[in-house]
């Protein structure tokens, strides 16, 4: 089981009916950083993972591994 942060992040964004711009605003993470994660240009820093998970209402583990308690 590999880490699929870009897929999990997109799934969670869709689940909230957000855009990547809304996630950037809610998490205080630059849109360019989110695009870099999505295009696998760079992995996120731990601080970024925490901000994203908090904004999306999930744990960092759920963000990284795709575990979702509602599924």
- Give dist(CA 56, CA 42) in Å, integer: 20
pLDDT tens, 15-45?
Answer: 999 999 999 999 999 999 999 887 777 778 9
* pLDDT, position 41: 73
Q: How far apart are CA 65 and CA 5, in angstroms?
A: 7
Per residue in 54-71, pLDDT tens? Answer: 999 999 999 988 865 554
Backbone phi, psi, residue 29, to 5°: -115, 135
Distance CA 58, CA 25 (A): 17
The reported pTM is 0.84
Match 């809610």 to its residue by tokens: 26
The residue behind tokens 């998490």 is: 27
Given a cut of 50, is residue 1 above it in pLDDT?
Answer: no
């Amino acid at each position: 089981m590999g880490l699929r942060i870009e897929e999990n992040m997109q799934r969670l964004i869709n689940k909230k009916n957000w855009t990547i711009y809304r996630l950037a605003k809610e998490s205080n993470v630059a849109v360019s950083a989110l695009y870099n994660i999505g295009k696998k240009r760079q992995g996120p820093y731990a601080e970024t993972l925490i901000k994203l998970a908090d904004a999306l209402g999930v744990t960092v583990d759920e963000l990284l591994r795709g575990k979702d308690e509602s599924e």
